[in-house]
Amino acid sequence: MISVGSFSFYLCIMVTFILNNQLISTETPEVSSLLDFIRYEKDMPGTKVGCREGDCGACTVLEGTLKNNKITYKSIVSCLTPVGNVQGKHIVTVEGLNMEHLSPVQKTMVENNATQCGFCTPGFVMSLTAHCLSKDKSVRQKAIAAISGNICRCTGYKSIERVASDISILLKEKNIENPVDWLVKMEFIPDYFLTIPVRLAKIKKENRRPGKSEIFIGGGTDLMVHKSEELVKADMNFLQNRKDLKYITFDKGKCMIGAATTVSEIEHSAVLKKHIPEISSHFRLVASEPIKNMATIGGNIVNASPIGDLTIMFLAFNAEVIIDSSGNSRTIPLKNFFLGYKKLSVKRNEVVKSIEFQLAAKPVLFNFEKVSRRSHLDIASVNSAIQIKMDDEKIKECFLSAGGVSPIPLFLTKTSGFLMGKRIDPDIILEANEIMQKEISPISDVRGSKDYKRLLIRQLLFAHFIKLFPGTLNLDDIIKTK
């Protein structure tokens, strides 16, 4: 908002993108939701309004991004997407898939009787189409993961899972280098998709005012849930598409991740997989596909949730946070970043630029555990991560973190310190638990009583060691020792 004398007015910024086959230039407030824009400004009712909190998937659309003249599509939830985040993108709603016939995804839904009232159906169709468009080989498990964010209240999931299975068979011959051409040829998507890269390239050349506001927004998956009403007329600083904040690099033993890197980009990073081969399996415990496609690492850290999954993981990497303060950089260890419940070492006008941490050349011993009320797609009751470096039989270095057991995401300094120099032994792990229990201060809330959380974190500590040292330890050994 701009104030001149006693007058205040809102600065209207043009957002330009392609919606299905149409070029859009709009002055709609950048922080208003893409869902409302699609339904109420563009009168396209195919995208449904369900929860408005990213949970049901009824509002799922595709987002296509051009990079190095190549386009990549992913699913996003339009209810939590601020219009400002789609500048220069291709957005596809279910109407944008219309052809003279049903697409193979729609046809397979019909053939499997996978729809009843139809409310959820556009969301499922969009998530499965995103899977078709992915530059990844299709297998049943991945097709089912693609619909992890979609809820159906009446059909039952078995028939929808059969659809996912059948589609993965139809995609056997997919050209993963250039899925768009292949899918147009096989009539999965309309042929206007072929024109999109050239049209997006033209939009990208248009200059857009760089953000000056002190209200930062990454993917919006936290801010848009909690503050969408109060922010609707605010001038926002959109970070998600900033190239200087979007990278994962590894150089001289150091890994650097830009703050606008999404959870999905971290999950599928070849750099990280080389050093942490199991990384993708840990990310299966984090949110749904569309949320992971939107949520950034910067947002996960700055929202300061005591149970933020990525924050807990990167605490165990002993990460540092690089902060940009009016052009000057400063560095804070992630473990010192949280001062109290939702209180941070970052000032209002400072932006988190990246996180950085050391990674050994050979694969590291790392594990992440999470317990939530629902086994998947739920916020943790308690979560924990550990990284261990061994020197022969002894622990040389240990970094242990715990979430949900204190007002902040906790680095367990004393427990980690105790474990250093010790052999892997049931007595030692029980002793470590005693120390850990003194370091934490859980409270009772909707995610469990404080005693239950103490029990959970103990079990997660055991789980770390049993998983990382399977030949050396098992649960019976630890419990018998007690």
Ligand X SMILES: Cc1cc2nc3c(=O)[nH]c(=O)nc-3n(C[C@H](O)[C@H](O)[C@H](O)COP(=O)(O)OP(=O)(O)OC[C@H]3O[C@@H](n4cnc5c(N)ncnc54)[C@H](O)[C@@H]3O)c2cc1C
| CA gap 48, 78 in Å, rounded | 10
Q: Which is nearer to ligand X, 349 or 449 (CB)?
A: 349
Q: Do 101 and 46 form a contact (C-beta atoms < 8 A)?
A: no
For residue 115, the partner it binds in ligand X, ligand FES, none, with Cβ less than 5 to 8 A by kind, is ligand FES
Partnered with residue 385 across adjacent β-strands are 368, 401
Question: Given the complex with ligand X, which of 18 and 351 has the nearer CB atom?
Answer: 351
**Which among 398, 352, 382 has a CA at the least distance from the CA of 455?**
382
**Contact partner at residue 299 from ligand FES, ligand X, none, CB < 5 to 8 Å by partner kind:** ligand X
Please say which residue, 151 or 180, places its beta carbon nearer to ligand X: 151
For ligand X, the nearest residue by Cβ is 299
Tokens 């011959």 appear where?
173
Residues of the shown chain interacting with ligand FES in the complex, contacts defined by CB under 6 A: 49-52, 54-59, 77, 79, 115-121, 152-155
Binding partner selected for residue 59 from ligand X, ligand FES, none, CB under the kind-specific 5 to 8 Å limit: ligand FES
Instruction: Give which of ligand X, ligand FES, none residue 153 binds (C-beta under 5 to 8 Å, depending on kind).
Output: ligand FES
Q: Which listed option, ligand X, ligand FES, none, makes contact with residue 359 (CB within 5 to 8 Å by class)? A: none
* Cβ at position 225, least distance to ligand X in Å: 5
Minimum CB distance to ligand X smaller for 179 or for 220: 220
* φ, ψ of residue 37 in degrees (nearest 5): -60, -45
Which residue, 190 or 218, is less far from ligand X as judged by CB? 218
List residues binding ligand X (CB under 6 A).
Answer: 53-55, 216-223, 225, 239, 259, 286-287, 291, 294-296, 298-300, 302-303, 308-310, 351-352, 379
- The number of angstroms, rounded, from the C-alpha of 326 to the middle of its chain's C-alpha atoms is 28
User: CB of residue 303 vs ligand X: minimum separation in angstroms?
Assistant: 4
Q: What is the DSSP letter of 11?
A: P
Burial of 69 (0-12, 13-18, 19+ CB in 10 A): exposed
307: its two tokens:
């149970």
**Least CB distance from residue 36 to ligand FES, whole Å?**
11
Between 183 and 313, CB nearer to ligand X: 313
48: DSSP letter: P
Cα separation of 349 and 139, whole Å? 45
Main-chain dihedrals φ then ψ at residue 31, nearest 5 degrees: -95, -5
What is the maximal distance between C-alpha atoms in the chain?
75
